[in-house]
Every structure is written in structure tokens, then in C-alpha cells.
Amino acid sequence: MNIKLIEKAEKSHNLSKKELVNILKDSSIDEALFEAANRVRKKYVGDEVHLRGIIEFSNICRRDCLYCGLRKSNGNIKRYRLMPDEIIDLAKKAVGYGYKSIVLQSGEDLYYTVDILTNIISNIKRMGVAVTLSLGEKTLEEYKAYKEAGADRYLIRIETTDKELYEYLDPGMSHDERKRCLRDLKELGYEVGTGNLNGLPNQTIESIADDILFFKEIDADMIGLGPFIPNENTPLSNFKADNFTLSIKVMALVRLLLPNVNIPATTAMESLNRNGRIIALSSGANVVMPNITEGEYRKLYAIYPGKICINETPNQCWNCITGKISSIGRTVSKELGSRLKMI
């Protein structure tokens, strides 16, 4: 019966919450689900893979999220902060490797004022690439200033649409405020990226289904589906998690319901499975986001344990991932990687 639901999703790109739950709970149809998502990916976004180079420029954060290794209460991490010239130089090198899109990501570090960030954004934008920001919750005025400086996209995960769970996991934060950020970004004309963590403590399959429907409701442009990986330096360190297959299933369902969005094969997936990004690319994903930060900073941006590629150089990462993409018959895109809108 659930096979019929996959067929329905592939044709209509719609499922009810109950239907999503049925698929998520049925492990016997996983391969059929992944194959359907791959067909929809090929039909709507093609075989090109968009590479987006991430610069993780500060691991200082004012927040205290229970699942994140960058939380302000973590005293077991060496903190760092890159200066604007260093960030711009990393972007310049990445463009030299062949990246068409740069992602600026950090903890919520208040050192970086609007003036500092707009200067960084405008300098990188002049390199002829797309600029994505992942800086957390900001005011409408701040988002507007970044957009005017040249930012194209903004990533801010909802993490979970379960308000009670969200506010437990993110003490001092408001679920309504998170949604406000997403609304503001949409209104300002950003390509908006969001997503969730799968396998969180006390998270239900029903709430994950709500997450998927939320992504469709807000018409997100990019959706990152990460597995929750417990960090030893957080209050959730003892929670047992095996969330790889669940994350791939959620990703595949997102592809079926939002056929033309950009979906990354996340680094975290490969931290759980050595072929994680290839499996994701074969199950609906069309984006990879390699780390282009250099030196010890690659290790210090320790959101979760077991992070891959921390001992590699950005150039080695480029060669590695382009080789993997070629090995499955896909090609690296030479475009900026904007979402292809459906006609």
C-alpha cells in the first residue's frame, strides 16, 4: 500500500501528514522511495551538482543550544574568529578552485557588525559568485543591509516545527522568532534555506512529517536535512542516535514534495556513513557544500563529533568531491546554482 503512496508523491508532489508518517515508519519501501526521489531529482534539476564552499569564520556563539558543540557553555572548545581580510582571501582562493557559490557561516558572534559583514559580502560578491549567509537570527534591518550588499541566499534551519521541543533544545530562544526570520528573508527576496535535525531526543515521526509539510508551506528554496549526532560536550552527549537512514528518507520525501528545490548531501551524513554524500546524491540531493576553511579552524568548528575532512586542505576537498561526483555519472555545475522555478 505504501508503495502506492510513493507513486502518488512522484506524480502529484503531495502527501498528507498521515501518508508521510506511513512512509517514514515503513522500512520495507526505502529503496523504492530513494529511487523515486532520484528520478524526480533528475527530471526537475538535472544531473549537475552545485558545489558551495563554506567558510566557517567564527565558532563563537551567544546561544546555548543543547545539541550544538559551539554552545556558549562549552568550555572545552578553543574559540576563534577570522578577520575580514582572512575571510575575503579564503573566498578568493575558493573561486580559484572553481566554486561558483560561497557560504559564510558562523556562530551568532556579535563581533561582526553590519558594517563589517556588508564589507565582506560586497567584496566577495565582486568576484562573480553567489553569496549565501548562515549567521542565525538577525533583525529585518540587518537582513536588508546584507541583501543590499549583495547577499543572495540565507540559511536558517527551523530545526524542528515542534514548538515545545524547539524551545527546550534552544533555551532562551523563541520558535515564533525563528519563523519571523524566515518570513522576513522571504519578503526581502532572498533564496531561503531551512531544514531540520532528524533523530533529536523526544522528536516524533509525526513532528518530522510536520517539518516536511512546513518546508512546502513556506516554499523554501533550499532544504538541509541533517542527522542529529550527539556531541560529547553538550547536555545530550549520552543520547544514543543512529539517524542516517531516517535523514535520507526525509530528504527523499522532501525531493518528492518539492521537486525543484536545492537539497544538499550534508557533511554530517558522511560522518555517519563513509559513502553518505554519494548515497544522498543518489536519493534526491543535488548540492554539496565542502569546507573551504583552512588550518586548525576546520577542526575547531566542532558542531558535532566525527566531522569529515578536517585534516584536508580545501584543494584536496575539491578534488575529492569532484571525483566522487564523476564516479556516479554526475557533473559539477558551472552555474551559480539558483533554484530552478517551476513553470
By three-state DSSP, how is residue 333 classified? Answer: coil
d(CA 56, CA 134): 9
302 inside domain: yes
Question: What does the block give as the cell for 213?
Answer: 509539510
- In the structure, what pLDDT confidence band is assigned to residue 1 with cuts at 50, 70 and 90? confident
Task: Taking residues 103-120, report their average pLDDT.
Answer: 98
What mean pLDDT do residues 82-92 have?
Answer: 98
Indicate whether 67 belongs to any domain: yes
**Is residue 179 included in any domain, yes or no?**
yes
pLDDT above 70 (res 342)? no
By the 8 A CB rule, do 158 and 178 touch?
yes
Q: Is residue 341 part of a domain?
A: no
**pLDDT of 343 over the 60 cut:** no
Q: What's the confidence (pLDDT) of residue 2?
A: 92
Distant-in-sequence, close-in-space partners of 64: CB < 8 Å, separation ≥ 6: 71, 72, 73, 171, 172
- Which residues span the domain enclosing 17? 2-332
Query: Measured between alpha carbons, how far is 47 from 289 in angstroms, rounded to an integer?
Result: 16
Average pLDDT, the chain: 96
Q: Which residue has the cell 516554499?
A: 219
CATH number for the domain harbouring residue 19: 3.20.20.70
Within a 10 A sphere around the Cβ of 237, how many other Cβ atoms? 11
Total count of domains within the chain: 1
Model pTM? 0.97
19 within domain boundaries: yes
Q: Lowest-pLDDT range, 92-106, 257-271, 303-317?
A: 303-317
Q: Which of 93-97, 193-197, 239-243 has the lowest mean pLDDT?
A: 239-243
For residue 20, report the phi and psi dihedrals to the nearest 5 degrees.
-60, -45
Paired strand residues for 102: 53, 131
**What single DSSP character describes residue 27?**
G
| Helices 244-257 + 17-25 axis angle, to 10 | 140
Give the pLDDT of residue 241. Answer: 77
In a domain, 340, yes or no: no
The three cell numbers locating residue 7: 507513486
Residue 64 lies in a domain: yes
Q: Establish if 124 belongs to a structural domain.
A: yes
